[in-house]
Structure 1
Amino acid sequence: MIVALLNQKGGVGKTTLALHLAGEWARRGQRVTVIDADPQGSALDWSQQRARECLPRLFGVVGLARDTLHREAPELARDADHIVIDGPPRVAGLMRSALLAADLVLIPVQPSPFDGWASAEMLALLGEARIYRPQLAARFVLNRCGARTVIARETAETLADHDPPVLASTIGQRVAFADTAQSGRLVSEVDDDSPAAREIAALCVEIGRLGL
C-alpha cells in the first residue's frame, strides 16, 4: 500500500506522522520505505540524525522530490509492504504526482478553522486526481489536538460531514513528538506505552481496517 501524507498547508505534522506510521509498521515486522517528497528534506534529516546516533535502521528513507513520483513509487513498492510519502507543501506538480502514486491519501489538519480553509485547495487537487484514479481513498487526520478542547471537538464534527471523512483516531499535541524528532527516534522507542505511542498504534490499526 502506498500512503501519502499531503496538505497544501505547511506545519501540520506531515513528516512526524509519516515517520511514526512507518516506524509502527516496521515494528510489526513489515517492510517499509519512506519517500521524502518535500524539498525541505525533513524526513531525510531525521534519518541522518538517527544514523549519527548509531540507532538501528527501521526503514529506508529515499529523497524523491520530483513530479515523476507517480512513476517511480510503484517500483519501490515492489520490495515493500508499505510506502509512506511525506508530501510537500504548496508544490502543485509534486502534489499531483504524489496523489497519482497513492492508494490512500491522509490529510493532516490541526483543530483550527484556518486549517479547514487551507485544505480546500488540497481537496480540489484530490478531485482532479480522482478523475484518473477514481478508487483513490482519502481521510482527514486530526493532529496536534489539545486534550478534550472544544475546538478539537468542533473540527471533528465539521469534518464528519466531509468527503473525505475524518478518521476516529486523533493525535495529541505532545512534547514527545518534538523531542524525538531532534534525536532521530520514535516515541515508541522512548516509551511504547506512552499516550503518543498508543495514539500512533491506534492510527495504524484504523488504517489497516480500511482494507486497502
Structure 2
Amino acid sequence: MIVALLNQKGGVGKTTLALNLAGEWAGKGKRVTLIDADPQGSALDWSQQRSREGLARTLGVVGLARDTLHREAPELAREADHVVIDGPPRVAGLMRSALLAADLVLIPVQPSPLDGWASAEMLALVAEARIYRPELAARFVLNRCAARTVLARETAETLADHDPPALAATIGQRIAFAAAAQSGRLVRELEDAAAAAGEITALTHEIERLGIGRAAR
C-alpha cells in the first residue's frame, strides 16, 4: 500500500505523521520505505539525525521531490509492504504526482476553520486525480488536537459527515512528537510517550482495516 500525507497548507504535521506511521509498520516487521517528497527534506533530516545518534535503521528514507514520483513510487512499492509519502506544501506538479502514486491519501488537518478552508484546494486536486485513478481513497486525519476542546469536537463532527470522511483515530497535541523528531526517534521509542504511541497504533490499525492495497495496479 502506498499512503501519501498531503495538504496544501503547511504546518499541519504531515512529516510527523508520515515518520511515525512508517515507523509503526516497520516496528511490526513490515518492509517500509518513506519517500520524502517535500523539497524542505525534513524526513531526510530526521534520518540523518537518527544516524548521528547511532540508532538502528528501521526503515528506508528516500528523497524524491520531483514530479516523476507517480512513476517511481510504484517501483519502490514492489520491494516493500508499505510506502509512505511525506508530501510537499503548495508544489502543484509534485502534489499531483504524489496523488497519482498513492492508494490512500491522508489529509492532516488541525481543529481550526482555517485548515478547513485550506483543504478545499486539496480536495479539488483529489477530485482531479480520481479522473485518472478512480480507486484513489482519501481520508482526513484530525491532528494536533486537544480532544476535550469544543473546536476539536466540532471539527471531528463536521468531518465525520464529509466526503472524504475523517478517520475516527485522532492525534493529540503532544510534546512527545517534537521531542522524538528532534532526536531522530519515533514516539514508540520514547519511554514516556505511551499516549502518543497509542494514538499512532490506533491510526495504523484503522488504516489497515480500510483494506486498501495495490490489487488495482
Superposed CA deviations along residues 17-75 of structure 1, whole A, max 9, x for unmatched, are: 00000000001110000000000000000000000000000100000000000000011
Gaps of at least 5 residues in structure 2 are 213-217
Please tell me whether the aligned partners of residues 67 and 94 of structure 2 are also in contact (alpha carbons under 8 angstroms): yes
After superposition, the CA RMSD in angstroms is: 0.8
Q: 1:8: how far off?
A: 0.1
In the alignment, structure 1 residue 125 sits paired with structure 2 residue 125: yes
For 1:148 and 1:33, how far apart are their aligned partners in 2?
35
Q: Which residue of 2 aligns with 1:38?
A: 38
Runs of 4+ in 1 over 2 A off after TM superposition: none
User: Cα gap change, 1:193/1:144 in structure 2, threshold over 3 Å: closer, same or farther?
Assistant: closer
Matched residue SS, 1:83: strand
Q: Which residue of 1 aligns with 2:143?
A: 143
Residue identity opposite 1:124 in structure 2: A
Matched residue SS, 1:84: strand
Residue identity opposite 1:170 in structure 2: T
Matched residue SS, 2:3: strand
Q: Which residue of 2 aligns with 1:190?
A: 190
Please tell me whether the aligned partners of residues 192 and 198 of structure 1 are also in contact (alpha carbons under 8 angstroms): no
Q: 1:193: how far off?
A: 6.4
TM-score of the pair, normalised by structure 2: 0.96
Q: Percent identity?
A: 83
Q: Which residue of 2 aligns with 1:210?
A: 210
For 1:147 and 1:92, how far apart are their aligned partners in 2?
33
Matched residue SS, 1:107: strand
Q: Which residue of 2 aligns with 1:91?
A: 91
Q: 1:188: how far off?
A: 0.6
Q: 1:162: how far off?
A: 1.0
Q: 1:191: how far off?
A: 2.8
Matched residue SS, 2:111: coil
Residue identity opposite 2:155 in structure 1: T
For 1:92 and 1:119, how far apart are their aligned partners in 2?
14
Q: Which residue of 2 aligns with 1:27?
A: 27
Residue identity opposite 2:94 in structure 1: L
Please tell me whether the aligned partners of residues 176 and 196 of structure 2 are also in contact (alpha carbons under 8 angstroms): yes
Output aligned runs, 1:46-195, within 5 Å.
46-191=46-191, 194-195=194-195
Q: 1:148: how far off?
A: 1.0
For 2:193 and 2:175, how far apart are their aligned partners in 1?
15
TM-score of the pair, normalised by structure 1: 0.99
For 1:192 and 1:97, how far apart are their aligned partners in 2?
38
Q: 1:161: how far off?
A: 1.6
For 1:200 and 1:148, how far apart are their aligned partners in 2?
19
Superposed CA deviations along residues 129-154 of structure 1, whole A, max 9, x for unmatched, are: 00000000000000000131100000
For 1:114 and 1:103, how far apart are their aligned partners in 2?
27
Please tell me whether the aligned partners of residues 191 and 197 of structure 1 are also in contact (alpha carbons under 8 angstroms): no
Q: Which residue of 2 aligns with 1:201?
A: 201
For 2:39 and 2:102, how far apart are their aligned partners in 1?
19
